[in-house]
Amino acid sequence: MPALRVSGLTKSFVVHAQGDLALPVLRDVALAVSPGECLALVGPSGSGKSTLLRSLYGNYRPDAGSIRVRHGADWVELVRAEPRTVLDVRRRTLGFVSQFLRVIPRVATIDVVAEPAIRLGMNADEAHRRAEFLLGVLGIPAKLWSLPPATFSGGEQQRVNIARSLSVDYPVLLLDEPTASLDPANRDGVVELIHQRREAGAAIVGIFHDVSVRDALATRIHDVALSGNSVGVHA
């Protein structure tokens, strides 16, 4: 049984400053992802991969269609959902790894990473141990853990963000170019962590520009330009 089901998803951007110019981006997108699967979104630049991923997270608001997520024992419809419903789904079910960390001034890296788990009720010591493990695997030196990530390099901030997104075992993970701007050693660490998550039964949807990363993680390809089409490949 899938963990995420999308049907008829349609999204345009209407720019009011340009005489209500409508830019259609997604039309009638359908897909389903089951636990243990990783669906790679492909398509040329501007084809709507990021728009689709952000819609799945409830960040963009589709015009029509359905995004249903298995949330605990329930199915929750995310299109036109109440804000507190979306927030609850994000807290417990949906993880999102983006390219950019929105830095909160003055919060230590270790606390940035541990926060989602603590918010879900994990004991603080355990959440910190887990954060230390993730930061270690992702190659963030221990001497930086007590500092806020504001002054870190772009690659370091991205790895802090990945660690934060993996501090909870989300049943559904959305990845927006998780390895962009990382060197090969760190990239391998990220791939290994996401691979483990997939093996443990997470349902994953991702955008991977790096073909070797895509080959290592994807179990299926979804071409966004051919809406609705989903092609199977070897894992």
Query: Which of 225, 142, 218 has the alpha carbon at shortest distance from 173?
Result: 218
Q: Contact between 124 and another protein (CB under 8 A)?
A: no
Burial of 24 (0-12, 13-18, 19+ CB in 10 A): exposed
Q: How far is the CB of 141 from another protein (least distance, A)?
A: 24
Nearer to another protein by Cβ, of 17 and 185: the residue is 17
Alpha-carbon distance of 73 to 182, in angstroms, equals: 37
Q: Is 143 in the site for another protein (CB under 8 A)?
A: no
Q: How far is the CB of 83 from another protein (least distance, A)?
A: 4
Counting contacts by CB under 8 A, is residue 70 touching another protein?
Answer: no
Q: Which is nearer to another protein, 13 or 212 (CB)?
A: 13
Is residue 122 within the footprint of another protein (CB under 8 A)?
A: no
206 touches another protein by CB under 8 A: no
Whole-angstrom distance, CA of residue 115 vs CA of residue 131: 9
Residue 21 sits in the site that holds another protein (CB under 8 A):
no
Q: Does 121 bind another protein (CB under 8 A)?
A: no
- Apex 161 CA angle, 146 and 144, nearest 5: 20
Q: Which listed residue (14, 124, 147, 226) binds another protein by CB under 8 A?
A: 14
The tokens of 189 are what? Answer: 């660490």
Toward another protein, which CB reaches closer, 9 or 213? 9
Among the candidate windows 10-18, 131-139, 209-217, 226-234, which touches another protein by CB under 8 A?
10-18
Q: Which residue from 62, 58, 143, 41 is spatially nearest to 93, judged by alpha carbons?
A: 58
How near is the Cβ of 90 to another protein at its closest, in Å?
A: 9
DSSP 146-201: TS-GGGS-HHHHHHHHHHHHTSS--SEEEEESTTTT--HHHHHHHHHHHHHHHHTT
Residues that bind another protein (CB under 8 A): 13-17, 54, 58-61, 72, 74, 83-88, 92, 102, 104-107, 119
